[in-house]
Amino acid sequence: MARLSDVIEDFIKTLLKQSEGELELQRNELAEYFECAPSQINYVLATRFSLDRGYYIESRRGGGGFIRIVQLDLDKDDYLLHLINERIGRTISENETNDIVTNIMERGIITEREALIIKSALTDKVIAIPANLRGVIRANILKAMLVAILRSRV
C-alpha cells in the first residue's frame, strides 16, 4: 500500500516537470483532492521538498494565499549546497564567515559588492545579541543568503 505522502510527492513532481521547475498550488485544494488533512501537505513539503533535496518553498496566507515550490538548478556536488548543508553548521564565527564569503567571491559566484553586503550584515557588532546566540543567528542568516544566491540562478 503506497503511502499517501509518496503519492502526493509524485503528483507534485509531475506538476513540476510540466511547469519547468516552478509551481504554485493551493494547500486546501490539494488536500481536498487527496482527501487528507491540509497539514499533511506541509508534511510532504517538509520531508520531500526540503532544501537538501534541492527545493525551495515560499508561501502566503490569507485570501488568495498559495504555496510556491521552486526546484533549484543545481548539479549534485554544488559548492553552495555543500556550504549550506555541511560546512556552515549550527553556529559560525565572524572570521569563518568572512573567509567563506571571500572565497565564493574569488570563485566568481558572487560579486565584490554582494560580498561586501553579506559581510556587513554578519559582523559581531551588527548582530548585537548574546554571544552564544549570535553565532547561531549568523549561521542562519548566512545560509539564507546563500539560498537566495542559489535561487537567483534559476
Partner DNA sequence: TATTACGAAGGTCAAAGAAAGTCAAAATAA
Partner DNA sequence: TTATTTTGACTTTCTTTGACCTTCGTAATA
64 counts as binding DNA under rule CB under 7 A: yes
Q: Which does 113 bind (CB under 5 to 8 A by kind): DNA, a copy of itself, none?
A: a copy of itself
The cell numbers describing 88, all together, are 556552515
Query: For residues 23-44, b (16+ Cβ closer than 10 Å) or e, as one string?
Result: bebebeebbeebebeeebbeeb
Report in angstroms how near the CB of residue 78 gets to DNA at its nearest: 24
Contact call for residues 94 and 124 (beta carbons, < 8 A): yes
SS3 at position 68: strand
Q: Which does 73 bind (CB under 5 to 8 A by kind): a copy of itself, DNA, none?
A: none
153 burial level (CB within 10 Å; 0-12, 13-18, 19+): exposed
Residues in Cβ contact with 4 at an 8 Å cutoff, skipping those fewer than 6 apart: 34, 36, 40
Contact map string, positions 94 to 113, toward a copy of itself, x by CB under 8 A? ------------------xx
| 120 contributes a contact to DNA by CB under 7 A | no
Q: Which is nearer to a copy of itself, 16 or 57 (CB)?
A: 57
C-alpha cell at 47: 520531508
Binding positions for a copy of itself, 112-141, rule CB under 8 A: 112-114, 116-121, 123, 126-129, 133, 136-137, 140-141
Chain residues binding a copy of itself by CB under 8 A are 1-3, 6, 26, 63-64, 66, 112-114, 116-121, 123, 126-129, 133, 136-137, 140-141, 144-145, 147-149, 151-152
